[in-house]
Chain A
Amino acid sequence: MKKKIYYAASIRGGRQDAFLYRRMIEKLKQHHQVLTEEAGNIFLCTDEQKHEYEAEIYQRGMDRLQESDLIIAECTNASIGVGYELCLGEQLKKEIHVFYDQSRSNLSVMILGNKHCKIHPYNGEKDLMSKLDDLLVTIG
């Protein structure tokens, strides 16, 4: 069954992995709906905006989190927004899957030590895509 996925990844925390986010989103979209497709837009504006627009982005994020069936996050690049979204997703009792490249980062203990988050460590993009495929088989 087609699921609504909240895909979370670093935006203002750094866009070094934007192409990787795009490829993950393309894979997810083959069978599911991604509510946050802009996370994979390599031209996304990452500057701070005026307050009204920031409030709009925040509200849109909250609405999509509520609407989602599950959360898939790429956490190699540290991001305050993603940490916020994972905590809120947990409060909303959403299923949470966290991917991160072990060879490039140390994942926060607030995520690694948290039983609610299912952690998928990987080494390199090939391994990531194969683990993402495995997950997609289980979510149907």
Chain B
Amino acid sequence: MKAIYFCGSIRGGRENATTYQKMIQHIQQNHNVLTEHIGNTNLNTNEQTYDKDKHIYTTDINLLNQADLLIAECTIPSLGVGYELCYLEQKGKPVHIFYNPTKCNLSAMIKGNNYFHLYPYTNEEELLTLLDELLKTL
């Protein structure tokens, strides 16, 4: 059982929140998801007071430091997700990135970086199949 940091867009836009939720449910069948709140479809995405944002930042950094690996859904652009991918790359942990190329152009900072494992998909069924295949190898 691995400790998995799941990344999806929060303040960048919540259009894919239900997809994040389904991915998290698949991962939780055999692993521990450190960031279950990413799949919460009622999550508050507004800026908070400085002290509260600083507290969330510290909590997330602690979770990143506990993670065995990272799984991200990157179709919706997000500053926070880009930050987190880089953070775990620096720590030498595996980083797996799913994205739908029919709905986005993935950043060259990610696509051109050989460190990352990329999983392009074209619909949700394919996404969940690719995810299940990855989970079997962990």
Contact = CB atoms under 8 A, between A and B. Distances in A.
B135 interface: no
Contacts of B110: 80-81, 84
Contacts of A78: 9, 11-13, 76-79
Interface centre among B12, B45, B55, B85 (most CB of A within 10 A): B12
Contacts of A84: 82-83, 85-86, 107, 109-110
Given A48-B106, A91-B90, A109-B56, A80 B81 contact: yes
A49 interface: yes
A140 interface: no
B85 A12 contact: no
Interface stretch (A27-35, A52-60, A131-139): A52-60
B10 interface: yes
A87 B47 CA distance: 20
Given A58-B112, A87-B83, A114-B57, A108 B105 contact: no
Interface centre among B57, B60, B85 (most CB of A within 10 A): B57
A115 B51 CA distance: 11
A127 B48 CA distance: 22
Nearest to B52: A113
A79 B82 contact: yes
A107 B83 CA distance: 13
7 contacts: A12-B107, A14-B77, A80-B82, A80-B106, A87-B84, A87-B85, A109-B60
